[in-house]
Structure 1
Amino acid sequence: MPFVVPRGPELEPATWPAYGLTTLTVVPLVWRRRAPLAVLLAVMAASALYKLALEGPGQPLPYTGLLSLYTIAVLSPPWKRLVSGLLMLVAVPVSVWLNTQSVRELTFSLFVFGAAYAFGRLADARQRAHRVEAEQAAARERARIAREMHDILSHAVSLMIVQAEAGPLAVRAAPARAEAAFEAISATGRDAMVQLRRMLGVLRDEQDSAGSSPRAPQPGLGELPELLARVRGGGLDVRYATEGAERPLPEATGATVFRIVQEALTNVVKHAGARSVAVRLGYGPGGLEVRVTDDGRGPHGEPAAGSGGHGLLGVRERAAAHGGTASAGPGPDGRGFEVRAVIPWEAG
C-alpha cells in the first residue's frame, strides 16, 4: 500500500527489508500440506521478527497464521493439534501485549484463531464422512458385481455340466440328441463369455482406442425365451406363462426379473432333480410377481458340495433393491420347490 497511498509523515518510510519479512510470512504456506506444524512455526517466527525488528509497511494481518492453524486442524494427528493449540494460547496473548495490550483485541484474536481451528475440524469430519460414503458405495458395487458374476457363471456352468454328463449316454443311444447337447454346451459357453465381456467392459476405466468394449444393456424380459430354451436343451421340461395385463418394465427391473428367473432355474438344474419347472410372471395391480416352481425333491434336497449357497440370498438382495421381497420354500401342496419374488411397480 505505501507504493499506492503515501504513508503519513509521522511514520517511518517503508523499506525493502520490511517487505522481505512480510513475504517470509507468506512463502512457507507453499509447504503447509506437507509440514503444517513446521509452517506454523516458520510463520510465527517471521511475524515475531517483523514486529520486533522492523516497523513494517502497515498492519501485519494474521491471515497466514490462521491458514496454517486451519491446515493443522484438517490434516494433523491429535498430538500435533494439541501442540499447536497450546502454542497459540501463548503466542496470541504475547502478540496482543506487544501490540495494543487491549482486552478487546485479545478476545477478537482468540475468537478468530479458535474459529479457524473449528472450521478445520469440521472440514476433516466432512472429508471422513465422504470417505465412508465412498467405501460403502464401493462395497455395494462389489456386492452387485459378485451377484452378477455368480448368476452368469453358476447358470452357465450348471447347464454345461448337466448336458456334458448326458452326452456320453446320448452318443451311444441317440447321436442326434448328443449333437444337440454339444451344440447347447457351446451356445451356453458363448453366451456366458458374451455376458462376462459385457460386464468387464463396463468395469474398465477406459475404452480401448478402437472402442470395442461392449456397452450393451443388461438382459431383460426379452431374453427370457432364449434362457428357457437353453434350459430345455439340458433335458428339463420348462413351461412359461404370464398372468394379467403385461406392461413395459424399466431396464433395471427387467434385468432383475431375468436374473431371478435365471438363478431359480440354476438351482433347479443343480439341486432339485426335477423333470419339469414352471415359470410364471403375474402382472398385478401392486407389482410384478415372479414364481418358479419345480417338481423335484423340494427344500430337503441336499445341494451340491461346494455350491456356496449364495444364489437365493442374491435373489432376495435383487428384489430388495427394488423395494420388493423374495421367498423360497415348498411348492404347492408341499411338493417340489418354489422361488417367489414380488417387485412393486414403484419401488420405495
Structure 2
Amino acid sequence: MTMAEFKRHRRLRTSANMRALVRETEVTVDDLIYPVFVVEGENVRNEVSSMPGVFQLSLDNLSAEMKEVSELGIKSVLFFGIPAEKDEVGTGAFHDHGIVQRAISQTKEEFPELLLIADTCLCEYTSHGHCGIVHDGIIDNDESLGYLVDTAVSQAKAGADIIAPSNMMDGYVQAIRKGLDEAGFTNIPIMAYSVKYASAFYGPFREAADGAPQFGDRKTYQMDPSNRREALREATSDIEEDADFLIVKPALAYLDIIRDVRNQFNAPIVAYNVSGEYSMVKAAALNGWIDEKAIVMEKMIGMKRAGADLIMTYFAKDVARWLKEDN
C-alpha cells in the first residue's frame, strides 16, 4: 500500500473540538438513577464502611440528600429500605407505613419534580434474607408473588412513579402488572430486573441494605454468570408480561449481555453499576492508584456504548458534578 492509499483516521482526532464533533456516545445527567438507602430511626447518617460516600439515611436526613440530588439535576432516585424489624414474610416491605413508603410520600411532597423508583423485593425485610417466602429451606416462587404484588401496590399508593421488582421470581412481572392494574395504577410502569446474575459484585450492597441471606445463597433464582442465552429468555418473558424497562445487573462484567439485550429489544435498557463495582473504584481512588473521575466516566461511557439507555449508579452525584464542571 502506498502513502496515498492508506486511510488517515487520525484526521478526526486532531483537536478536542474535532473529537467532540464526531463523538458517538455521551453520558448526560438525564441518564442517571441514584440509589438511596433509607432506614428507621432519627438522626441517622451512617456511612457504609465498604462504600465510601454512601450513607444509610433516616427520614429526617433524607430531605437534605434529596435537595442535593435535585440541585445537581439528577431526576431519578431508587429507594431501598432497611426496616426496624424483620419477619418470615417481610411485612415491612408491603406495610403502608413501611420505611420505603414513608420515604416516597415525604420526597414526593417535598420534591415533586423527582422521579421516584421503588425497589420491590422482600430480602431486606425477611428474617431469612431471601427474596421470597421460604418453606423447608426452599423459596416458594408462586406464594412469593402475592407478597410482591402487595408490596408494589403499597409503593404505588405511597406515590412511587416506577415499580422496580428485583426478586427474580418466575412470573413476577405478570403478577405485579395485574395487581397494579386492578388497584387502579395502570399508568405506573415496571422497571424489571430482568437479567440479574448471582454475582460476587453485590457484597457491599448487602452491608448497606442489611440483606444478606441467613442460609444458602440466591443461585436458585438469580442467574448463573456463565449463561448468556438465558438472559434473552428471561428478558423475553418480562417483555411478554408487559415490562416497560429491562435492567441488566451487574454492568461491567456483563456489557456483552447489555448489548445482546439492546439488540433484541426496543424497550429502554438500564445498566445497574452495582456496589462492588463502586467499591473497587473508590478503594483504588482513595489509595491514589487511579484517576477516579477519568475511570468512572470511562465506565459510564462503556455502559452507554454497550447499549444502556439509563445507568443506576452510586456515582450519580459525582458524575452529575463532573458533567457540570465540564460544561
> Into which bin does the TM-score normalised by the smaller protein fall?
under 0.3
Relative contact order higher in (CA < 8 Å, ≥ 6 apart): 2
In the superposition, the TM-score normalised over structure 2's length comes to 0.24
In the superposition, the TM-score normalised over structure 1's length comes to 0.23
Larger radius of gyration: 1
